[in-house]
Amino acid sequence: MPYFHASDGARLYYRDGGEGSPMICLHGLTRNGADFDLLRPLLPGLRIIALDARGRGLSDHSGASSYTVPRESEDVLNLLDHLGIAAAPFLGTSRGGMVTMALAARAPERVLGLCLNDIGPEMEPEGRMRLTTYVGVQPRERSIEERVAAMPMLNPGFADVPEARWREEVSRHFVETPEGLRIAYDPALRDAFMATLDRAPNLWHGFDALAGCPVAVIRGANSDILSSRIVAEMSRRRPDLISAEVPGRGHMPFLDEAESLAALRAFLEAVGAPIGRA
């Protein structure tokens, strides 16, 4: 299995599949690299490399003090070095986009471009506070099927999501145990998140460090994390910003929607990573 060791010794897992130009994919706060599995058949001719951030998926649980954006951006540099990739385009979902902007501020030469999935250089306070209701919290449901049934109620910003898609989501991020359903990441992630709650993210310097590189943003039309106000400021700073809004999606789009795929394809063309059609 594809593992590497970060500079602090943590053993981290990544998924590496497809042929062609590489794209590094970084997932959201409580999720893992399996989120990007659905993109491989939809973006043929692209090598998709998806990291499980420390504490998530199959990567080591290294403790709350290490679950920080700076440490995770260092992990991405370690991954690039491990794979012998000098620079690559990035797709960052939520926390993954923040990590990539932090990386761009630190080592802009390693980032050929960035597609942001429902995240910007700042977050709306209401959405950020909503995260406190579930990060590191074990679910009430006792089984995958119970959780699948609850997903429409738990995700009111989403419409017309097939039950099979909810089942895929739940199966990737929860584990059935004799004690009930459990989150598939280190619960200590909550401690790390709560420790920074009084410091609103500000990564405009990282966004601005992407000057000269293609940048795209995909927003869920019902997102409470990435508002149209933030996207407007991103567009003001980057008139060439590739932008898409996905109806019937909150935080965050799945990326297989027509609007998401159109933005991704435009972004990949802009970074010089042409792909075929599924």
Residue 16's CATH number: 3.40.50.1820
Clarify whether residues 175 and 225 are in a common domain. Answer: no
Mean pLDDT of 164-173: 96
The domain in which residue 145 lies consists of 137-184
Clarify whether residues 24 and 101 are in a common domain. Answer: yes
Q: Which of 184, 215, 247 is the last residue of a domain?
A: 184
Among 273, 276, 243, 277, CA closest to 260: 243
Q: What length is written for the chain? A: 278
Which residues are paired to 16 by β-bridges? 49
Quick: pLDDT tens for 171-229. 999 999 999 999 999 999 999 999 999 998 999 999 999 999 999 999 999 999 999 99
Clarify whether residues 21 and 159 are in a common domain. Answer: no
Query: pTM for this one?
Result: 0.97
Clarify whether residues 147 and 36 are in a common domain. Answer: no
Clarify whether residues 127 and 141 are in a common domain. Answer: no
User: C-alpha angle with apex 202: 198 to 204, nearest 5 degrees?
Assistant: 175
The pLDDT value recorded for residue 138 is: 97
Domain-embedded: residue 277: no
Among 33, 31, 32, CA closest to 23: 33
Clarify whether residues 86 and 206 are in a common domain. Answer: yes
Q: List, in order, residues 6 or more apart from 126 with CB less than 8 Å away.
A: 224
Q: What are the distances in angstroms from CA 184 to CA 31, 46, 135, 137, 189?
A: 8, 28, 11, 11, 11
The percent of residues in the chain predicted with pLDDT above 90, rounded, is 96
Clarify whether residues 114 and 208 are in a common domain. Answer: yes
Instruction: Write the single-letter amino acid at 132.
Output: T
The pLDDT value recorded for residue 17 is: 93
Domain-embedded: residue 196: no
Domain-embedded: residue 190: no
The 3-class secondary structure across the chain, one letter per residue, is: CCEEECCCCCEEEEEEECCCEEEEEECCCCCCHHHHHHHCCCCCCEEEEEECCCCECCCCCCCHHHCCHHHHHHHHHHHHHHHCCCCEEEEEECHHHHHHHHHHHHCHHHEEEEEEECCCCCCCHHHHHHHCCCCCCCCCCCCHHHHHHHHHHHCCCCCCCCHHHHHHHHHHHEEEECCEEEECECCCHHHHHHHCCCCCCCCHHHHHCCCCCCEEEEEECCCCCCCHHHHHHHHHHCCCCEEEEECCCCCCCCCCCHHHHHHHHHHHHHCCCCCCCC
Clarify whether residues 114 and 24 are in a common domain. Answer: yes
Mean pLDDT of 49-68: 98
Mean pLDDT of 49-78: 98
Domain-embedded: residue 193: no
Q: Which pair of structure tokens corresponds to residue 28? A: 């959201």
Taking a C-beta distance cutoff of 8 angstroms, is the pair 218, 242 a contact? Answer: no
Clarify whether residues 19 and 66 are in a common domain. Answer: yes
Cis peptide before 194 (omega within 30 of 0): no
Clarify whether residues 221 and 101 are in a common domain. Answer: yes
Clarify whether residues 126 and 10 are in a common domain. Answer: yes
The pLDDT value recorded for residue 209 is: 98
Residue 26 has pLDDT above 90, yes or no: yes
Tell me the pairing of strands 21-26 and 88-93.
Answer: parallel
Tell me the pairing of strands 11-17 and 46-51.
Answer: antiparallel
Domain-embedded: residue 29: yes
Tell me the pairing of strands 180-183 and 88-93.
Answer: unpaired
Domain-embedded: residue 147: yes
Domain count, the chain: 2
Clarify whether residues 40 and 159 are in a common domain. Answer: no
Domain-embedded: residue 197: no
Tell me the pairing of strands 174-177 and 180-183.
Answer: antiparallel
Residue 89 has pLDDT above 80, yes or no: yes
